Structure formats: structure tokens, C-alpha cells
Homo-oligomer: A and B are copies of this chain.
Amino acid sequence: MPSLLIHEVGFRDGLQMEKQVVPTERKIAWIEAAFRSGVDLVQVGSFVHPDKVPQMADTDRLFTYFSEPGKTPAGVTLSGLVLNEKGLERGLGCGVGMFCMGVSASETHSRKNTGMAIAEANTRIVAMAKRALGEGKKVQLSVQSAFGCGYEGRVPKQRVVDIVKTFLDAGLRSLSLADTAGHATPDDVAELFARVRELEPTADWTCHFHNTYGLALANGYAARLAGVTSFESSIAGLGGCPFTKVAGGNTCTEDLVHALQRAGLRADLKLDVLLEIANDVAAFFQRDLPGCIYRTGPIPEPVAG
């Protein structure tokens, strides 16, 4: 298994932000291209009510499609976001490989996003996570708004640590800190991941950053130094949470992979395929997307000296 995993979340966290609904056939083509690029996990969609997020209305169909024999490469995990029990049941019925679920560290964000206070949301999410584990599924639990909130401002780090403790106490070991609003700085990232990793050094840690204030790649570097091994990112830097006030795109997948490959990491990933997807996504939405490398091209080779 590679030491650093790339989890493409643009087809969920990216597309849910776009007014224009992407046809299912186009999503299938993009996801299949993501398979060819070699990324390790692909988030196919979100089990929300189609009236609330019409961009995700075909999530069940997509999972059913990719669950057919031969449609998904052996090494790839298909993930789906679930917000509640109903979504979990839908996901259990259509072939989700890994359930992603989370609790916000901001009371305001939690109430806006789920209608529940943090404590209530936490109890329900932990119960859902245990049920999915019991069904033999992978589960990744995240703390959303872990580094700040568009409504509340700074989020006390201790609150995040306390939520993580409840996850660990429930036996959950695949954990994520998500910077929903893009407020994190590398210093915050280094400190908070160090604190949660102290609780349970053998847990698997994922990071999820938004580039609202230009720091997504810097935060990813700090996370890597802090021992994080899985990186959520969006093709072309698509994305943002519709329930935060200032929504910036996610860490851009191909920019992240480009930087990692310059550092000698994940040479197996096909950057050219990622750039093709980014160009196709930008062409589909007919605008410049936040990603950098799909516009500049990679740093020119060959190696000199």
C-alpha cells in the first residue's frame, strides 16, 4: 500500500457546490478516468435528499453501476458521504466501500448542516459508524470545521480533541480533520494533528483542506509532517461547502500530486490523466477553476545537471 493515499472527493464535495448538475454519464467518465490516474479512493457521491442537493441525486445509481463486476479496479475504494441513518441504509444497499461521516466542531455549523447540536450529532454518528462497521464496511469519521468556522470564528482545539476521543473510545480508527471553512494555518495543522495523534498513535489520519485563504497546500505539507497519511482533494480544486459563509475550493488534486511527485512521492500516479480530467471539468463548467497546474502545465523536464 502506498505510504500516502489520495482520496478524490471532487465528484462529491466539488460537484455539490456547482449550480449545473453533471449528467450521470459524464460523472462515470470522470470517475473512470480517476481510476486510470491511480488515485486510491474516489468519493462517488453523498446520500442526501435529492431535493436538497440535486447534484447528488444519482449517487445510488453510480454506486450500483460501479459495484458491477469489473467496473472498479481491485485496489480502489469507493467512498460515500452519509449524514443520517436514512442515508446509511441507502448506502448499505448499493455497494459503498467506505462510509464517510462527520461531526462538526462548530455548534452553528452543526445545527445548520444537520439540525443537531454537536453532542447529539456525535452520538448518532458514532452509532451509525458502528452499524456500518458491523456490516463489514470501512468507515472514516471526521471532525468538520476542525480549524475554524465561517460563523463562529476560531474553534477551540480542545473541543476537537474531545470529539476525537469519543470516536476513539467507540473503537473507530480511521479519522479525519476537515477544514471546512479554510481557516487552518500550517501551525494549527501541526499542533492539532500532534494533539490528536497523541491520543492514539496507531490510528489512520486523513486531512481535508479548503483553499479559501490560499493555504491548502501549505496545510497539506504540515499534515504530512505531522504523520497524516491520507489526503482528500478535488480535481481542478473544485468545491466548497454550501453551508459555510465563504466557500473556497478543496485542495486541488493535480496540484497536490504534482508537488508530491516533485518530492519523489507517488511516482505511480498518472499526473497527465489528472490534468486531462481537470481540463475536461473546466471545459464542462466553461470557466477557469482554482487549480494551477492544469493551466501552467507541470514544471518542465528533463532533469539537468
Contacts and interface: CB of A to CB of B under 8 A. Distances in A.
Contact of A259 (B153, B185, B263, B264): B185
Interface in A271-305: 292-293, 296, 299-305
Interface residues of A, number: 45
Copies held by the complex: 2
Contacts of A303: 153-154
A296 B129 CA distance: 36
A147 to B, nearest CB: 10
A204 B105 CA distance: 41
A154 B304 contact: yes
A263 B187 contact: yes
A185 B259 CA distance: 6
A212 interface: yes
A83 interface: no
A213 interface: yes
Contacts of A149: 304
Interface stretch (A163-171, A194-202, A216-224): A216-224
Interface of A: 106, 148-150, 152-156, 159, 183, 185-188, 212-215, 217-218, 220-222, 225, 245-246, 248, 252, 255, 258-259, 262-264, 292-293, 296, 299-305
Given A149-B304, A213-B299, 15 more contacts: A153-B305, A155-B304, A183-B299, A185-B259, A186-B218, A188-B263, A213-B255, A213-B296, A214-B255, A214-B292, A217-B217, A217-B218, A218-B221, A245-B300, A248-B296
